[in-house]
């Protein structure tokens, strides 16, 4: 875990404000398909705020991705595979941004179909939840 002193954070903010504007940095857009509302899996609704905080920390640190800025496009999957696939497609085809990766979904039943689809666009997909440990030999979407 990174720890920052107040002086380091202040220096990072000042350098970002005066030396490099956010508009000058190349955006790296991450499509997030995490459950954000009421969810029977309590921990999964806590994922989105943690991801947003991580993105803020990375963007605030001048040594990390100095010519880039992370942009998070947060979508609520509601732990529903159909909804998540639809949102993934909308993120990929529905705007002028280039998605570089996907995060989510917070539920194994949603994560597996998303992983099966994301590799078709050659995009990494990161999730903390998926029940494929017993099927590592059948890794059709791990390429």
> Which pLDDT score, from 0 to 100, does residue 56 have?
92
Distances 137 to 108, 110, 128, 142 between C-alpha atoms, Å: 18, 21, 19, 10
Provide the 10 A C-beta neighbour count for residue 124. 12
Cα 48 from Cα 50, distance rounded (Å):
5
pLDDT in tens, 77-88: 888 888 888 888
Dihedral sign of CA atoms 15, 69, 106, 49 in order: positive
> Which pLDDT score, from 0 to 100, does residue 129 have?
65
pTM of the model: 0.68
Q: How confident is the model at residue 143 (pLDDT cuts 50, 70, 90)?
A: low
Which string of DSSP letters, residue by residue, matches 7-63? Answer: HHHHHHHHHHHHT--GGGSEEEEEEEEE--S--SSGGGGGHHHHHHHHHHHHHH-TT
- Determine which helix (DSSP H) or strand (DSSP E) holds 99, and give its type and residue range: strand 99-103
Distances 29 to 1, 26, 92, 100, 120 between C-alpha atoms, Å: 23, 10, 11, 6, 18
> Which pLDDT score, from 0 to 100, does residue 14 have?
44
Mean pLDDT of the chain: 75
> Which pLDDT score, from 0 to 100, does residue 71 have?
92
pLDDT in tens, 91-126: 888 777 888 988 877 777 888 888 888 888 898 888
């Amino acid at each position: 875990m990174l720890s920052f002193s107040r002086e380091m954070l202040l220096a990072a903010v000042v350098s970002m404000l005066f030396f490099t504007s956010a508009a000058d940095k190349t955006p790296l857009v991450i499509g997030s398909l995490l459950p954000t509302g009421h969810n029977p899996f309590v921990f999964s609704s806590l994922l989105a705020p943690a991801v947003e905080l991580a993105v803020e920390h990375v963007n605030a640190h001048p040594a990390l991705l100095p010519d880039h800025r992370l942009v998070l496009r947060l979508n609520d999957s509601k732990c529903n595979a159909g909804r998540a696939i639809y949102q993934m497609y909308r993120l990929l085809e529905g705007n002028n941004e280039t998605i570089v990766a996907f995060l989510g979904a917070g539920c194994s039943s949603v994560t597996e179909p998303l992983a099966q689809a994301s590799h078709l666009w050659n995009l990494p997909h990161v999730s903390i939840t998926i029940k494929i440990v017993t099927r590592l030999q059948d890794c059709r979407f791990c390429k």
